A and B are shown apart, each in its own frame.
Chain A
Amino acid sequence: MWLGLLLSVFGMAVGVFIGLNLPLVLPQAYAKFLSVAALAALDSVFGGIRAAMEDHFDNSIFLSGFFSNALLAAGLAYTGERLGIDLYLAAVVAFGVRLFQNLAIIRRHILKKSYHKKENSL
């Protein structure tokens, strides 16, 4: 569990470093798609953390969810753009709501755990 956290922090740091130093710049037109994809990815990561806390983490579900959510969100935004509808808003709302739900559940798990620890220590 702690090793996973360490690895994720490490991976994130490397990703940020690479992202900031890459000489390639994304055109402004695609920034919207990437932002929705990033939101979806963030949601699946929190979902993964929640699953891990509930002890039913499945690697394949996590990975497939991550990629499919990101691609779906980006694709949705793209289609919306093509059709003249702000479909990316749907992705933003859906993933935003799920993100907050996941966060709330994670918070409760953490609180419960610390509670148990306190009771055990007493």
Chain B
Amino acid sequence: MNKSIYVSIIIVSLLLGLMISFQFRTNSSPTEVVPPERYQELTIEKKRVETDILNLEEEVADLSAKIEEARKGRTETADVLESELNKIKIYAGLTPLVGPGVELVLENPPESPGGSGFYNIRDEDLLKVINDLHGAGAEAISINEQRILATSEVRQAGNHININLTKLSPPYRINAIGNPGTLKSSLEIKGGLAEYLAASGTTVNIQQSDSIRVPAYSGSLRFDYAKQVQRG
């Protein structure tokens, strides 16, 4: 009798504990119980997201490759533009140049005992020299450190000659880069400029050199009236 009471107490308490703990577990962890449909849904979603990630990673690699390419292209473009700019600067005479050529020094005739010199070097003489040198293929010319540009003027102003709005006085030192032989011979040709100038009493001194320096144009470039024609 007594024994069976204890047995029943043990059974009952055991069952009660089991029930309570079971109930506690089901209620306290509802997330642990996932319906199979939801589980499947989530699995499918997970797979989709994983493939999405893979695709996106591929895209990232692709795009970064493109960016790299574009960057390379940009530096190439910049290089091309810079070399173009340098070329144009050389054409325009905005950079100092060096190369083989001739150096020509023109000096007024020494003053004659009977007063002032009867002949001075005039702007026309210098223009002729410049013209001759250009004709002989001179690539860059300067007179007394004044670069001759397409817009440079050579103009008599009293006893001086103005070039690039700068007053020059003799002796005139003309530097020209080009084929030294061609330049020299075109000046010294029979009946040429050198002979003509020498005949008028001017001292002409022509020297060939392997490194003639022609300075850059130092004035300002202005286009107040000219406008570029819009194309298209």
Contacts and interface: CB of A to CB of B under 8 A. Distances in A.
Interface of A: 3-4, 7-20, 22, 25-28, 31, 34-35, 37-38, 41-42, 44-45, 48, 57, 59, 62-63, 66, 70
B13 A7 contact: yes
Contacts, number: 106
B12 A31 contact: no
Given A10-B10, A25-B33, A28-B33, A15 B23 contact: no
Contacts of A12: 13-14, 16-17
Given A4-B5, A15-B18, A26-B22, 15 more contacts: A11-B14, A11-B17, A12-B13, A12-B16, A15-B14, A15-B16, A16-B20, A16-B21, A20-B25, A25-B25, A27-B33, A34-B22, A45-B13, A62-B8, A66-B15
Given A19-B25, A20-B21, A42 B16 contact: yes
A48 B11 CA distance: 13
State the majority secondary structure of interface residues on B. helix
Interface in B62-98: none
Nearest to B17: A15
Interface string B116-159: 00000000000000000000000000000000000000000000
B19 A34 contact: yes
**5 A-B pairs with the lowest CB-CB distances in the bound complex, closest first:** A15-B17, A19-B21, A11-B13, A12-B17, A8-B13
Contact of B26 (A3, A4, A26, A62): A26
B19 A41 contact: yes
B51 interface: no
